[in-house]
Amino acid sequence: MTGRAPVTLPDLAPTLTAEGLVLRPWEISDADFVLELAADPETRRWAQSFWGVSDLDGARQWINDRREYRTMWVVCDADGDRAGWVGLSYLEADEWSMMISYGSAPQWRRQGVARRAVEAVTAYGFDPAGLGLLRISLEHATGNPGSCSVAAACGYSVEGTLRQRIRLEQGGLADSHAHARLAADPDGPLPAPRAQIEPVEIVAGAYQLCIPSADLDAAAIVAACADPAIMLYNTGPTDLAAARKWCANRSDWTSGEHASWLVKDTLGTLLGQVSMFRIDPDQRLAQIGYWVAAPARGHGVAAAAVDAAARFGFGALDLHRIELFHAIENIASCRTAERAGFAREGELRQSYRYGDGVFRDEHLHARLSTD
């Protein structure tokens, strides 16, 4: 673009704000925070700049290097507690392009810190009153799906895979995903790409996992879901119109977000249902839920169905981990989970509001593809 002035960096990184966060310039007094980050294995795994930091002198030098960029920030919460870092670097002034990097302190992960910080710096980078950039690039190791999620949430399109791009501390090289966002791109997150899943029926021992049919199954589903236990622990349709809609939704797997079945015996009698949902292909993670009609309880229906569904998830969907939650007082569900190979991992306090409106403690179980 002829006539456009090269990008001019500020003398010092300006203070920026994001939702619940303040992004301020690095200060030498942040050396203890740098040491904390450098001691964290997950930080060192993905951020090479921390490899050589082992003492306060090294931490201070790290900060001085960041201050020289003039576009590097400490991410703090509203109380000033340091939650992470974000920065723009590798300026190509005549191309109006920079690269963004970021990370969260261990105790602040999975709280949206990186996403909010990246959004704030992206806005500053593209703002004509800020840096006036035209393009911001972003790279992360392909083995770091959390960063991929942040990139997508902030509108950074995937542009390709760079082979053997990132050096690993323990030796060797890793591929990276290349993302970028342009000033002309629309605001908002990118839709997460999902592979379509074809519905398939599964044999589960003496039982069959079948695709729901509105015409064949709606009435039986309404009858089963009238049971008080199902109404408490699993919300379900209570009239024919809702049941038909329920069947239509459960038989449509095209979103890639779930895989759902009805469980029947060899005569076609409805015994229960099982579903994998919240399928996350990046994390290779899903949750599983189920119910069993009252007359079929106590015969191992749920364990057989959950085991068969999990095997399908690990095989056809390439999942690595499937999680199962149940109210602690639901002892039958605890037995089902264990019989289906789901190890109990912990207890969650008041983690889910059930059909009676009460928040209940839950057990978390999980099964891995390697179990």
pLDDT at 371 over 50: yes
Do 176 and 207 share a structural domain?
no
pLDDT tens per residue across span 127-142:
999 999 999 999 998 8
Give percent of the chain with pLDDT exceeding 90. 73
The radius of gyration computed from the CA coordinates of the chain, to the nearest angstrom, equals 25
Residue 103 pLDDT class (50, 70, 90 cuts): very high
- Could you give the CA distance from residue 47 to residue 67 in angstroms, rounded to a whole number? 17
Domain count, the chain: 2
Do 43 and 149 fall within a single domain? yes
Quick check: is 5 in a domain? no
Decide if 74 is inside a domain: yes
9, part of any domain: no
Last residue of a domain, one of 153, 182, 211: 182
Q: Are residues 287 and 360 in the same domain?
A: yes
- Which residues, in sequence order, are CB contacts of 249 under 8 Å at separation 6+? none
Whether residues 60 and 148 fall in one domain: yes
Res 311: pLDDT: 93
Residue 285 and residue 252 share a domain:
yes
Q: Are residues 360 and 222 in the same domain?
A: yes
Tell me which residue range forms the domain holding 21. Answer: 16-182
Do residues 257 and 286 lie in contact, with contact meaning Cβ atoms separated by under 8 Å? no
Position 273 in a domain: yes
Residue 195, pLDDT score: 53
Average pLDDT over residues 151-172: 87
In this predicted model, what pLDDT tens digit does every residue of 15-34 receive, in sequence order?
999 999 999 999 999 999 99
Q: In percent, how much of the chain has pLDDT > 70?
A: 98
If asked whether residues 172 and 259 sit together in one domain, one would say: no
Q: Are residues 85 and 26 in the same domain?
A: yes
Are 208 and 261 in contact by the 8 Å Cβ rule? The answer is: no
Asked if the structure places residue 159 within a domain, the reply is yes
Handedness of CA 132, 135, 141, 145 (dihedral sign): positive
What does the pLDDT average to over 150-178?
Answer: 87
What's the pLDDT tens digit per position in 180-200?
999 999 887 776 555 557 788
State the average pLDDT for the chain: 92
Q: What is the DSSP letter of 297?
A: T
- Region 313-339 average pLDDT: 94
Instruction: Please provide the size of the chain in residues.
Output: 371
Flag whether 60 is in a domain: yes
Q: Is 95 inside a domain boundary?
A: yes
- Binned at pLDDT 50, 70 and 90, residue 331 comes out as very high
Bridge partners (DSSP) of residue 141 are: 176
Answer for the pair 361, 350: CB distance below 8 angstroms, yes or no.
yes
Q: How far is it, in rounded angstroms, from Cα 367 to Cα 371?
A: 7
Same-domain check for residues 171 and 209: no
101 has pLDDT over 50: yes
Q: 50 and 108 in one domain?
A: yes
Report pLDDT for 1: 46
- Which residue, 182, 210, 243, sits at the end of a domain? 182
Residue 69: name the closest of 99, 45, 43, 39 by CA.
99
Question: Could you please report the per-residue DSSP string of 123-167?
Answer: HHHH-TTTT--SEEEEEEETT-HHHHHHHHHTT-EEEEEEEEEEE
Pairing of strands 97-104, 72-77: unpaired
226 and 151, same domain (yes or no): no
Q: Are residues 227 and 82 in the same domain?
A: no
The answer to whether position 261 is within a domain reads yes
Residue whose C-alpha is closest to residue 291's, from 261, 321, 312:
261
CA neighbor of 302 nearest in space, from 352, 249, 261: 261
The residue ranking higher by pLDDT, 275 or 94, is 275
Q: Is the confidence at residue 256, as pLDDT, over 90?
A: no
For residue 271, what is the domain's CATH number?
Answer: 3.40.630.30
Domain stop point among 182, 214, 241? 182
Contact 124, 14 (CB under 8 A): yes
**pLDDT tens for each residue of 283-318:** 899 999 999 999 999 999 999 999 999 999 998 888
Residue-wise pLDDT tens digits, 27-68 = 999 999 999 999 998 898 888 999 989 999 999 999 999 999
